[in-house]
Amino acid sequence: MHPVLDSYLPLFIYALLALAIPASMIALSFVLSTRPSRRTRARTLPFESGVSTGPPPQQRLSVKFYLIAMLFLVFDIEVVFLYPIATMIGDIGWFAVAEFGFFLAMLVVPLVYVWKRGALE
């Protein structure tokens, strides 16, 4: 096998176990669980303090959270691009530091922008 893929083999073995154990717990809970004999409508309604009005209608999510998600995408992708430079920086030297600083500046500029536009409130 390819040496790089080789290092992933134990991870796959482990991941299979990590999938099997919770799955078996869920399966066991179906087998072992006790079922009450009486099923009433009130039990299946969503939790509500006060009067239960039945399942909520399909709700729309507020735009604020989309904004956060988009900010996350921008910043996190930039950070991921920084990692490869970070591992090589000792070998390349000052040129890499300049690149690194430039990339960080690209991260700071949108941060200042969204800050001033009030998207972080």
Partner 1 sequence: MDGTALNQPWWIDLLKAAVVINVFLGVVAYATLIERKLLGRMQLRYGPNRAGPFGLLQPIADLVKMVRKEAFAPAAAADLLYIVSPLVAAFTALTSFALIPWGPVWSIGGYDVTGWVADVPIGLILLFALGSLGIYGFIVGGWASGSKYSLLGTMRTCAQMVSYEVSLALSVLGVVLMAGSLSLVDIAVRQQETVWFAGPQFIGFLVFFVAGVAETNRAPFDLPEAESELVAGYLTEYSGMRWGLFQLAEYANVVMLSGLTVTLFFGGWGGPGLPGPIWFAIKLACVLFVMIWIRATLPRLRYDQLMRFGWKVLLPVATLNALVTAILVVAV
Footprint on this chain of partner 1 (rule: CB under 8 A): 3-4, 7-11, 13-15, 17-19, 21-23, 25-26, 28-30, 32-36, 43-49, 55-56, 59, 61-62, 64-65, 68-69, 71-72, 75-76, 79-80, 82-83, 86-91, 93-94, 96-97, 100-101, 104, 107-108, 111, 115, 120-121
CA-CA distances (angstroms) from residue 4 to 7, 8, 45, 54, 85?
Answer: 6, 7, 51, 54, 20
Instruction: Enumerate residues 6+ apart whose C-beta is below 8 A from 52.
Output: 42, 45, 46
Provide, rounded to whole angstroms, the least separation between the CB of residue 72 and partner 1.
4
Q: What is the dihedral of CA 103, 105, 109, 112, to 10 degrees?
A: 130
Return the closest-CA partner of residue 89 out of 68, 104, 109: 104
Q: What is the CA radius of gyration of the chain?
A: 25
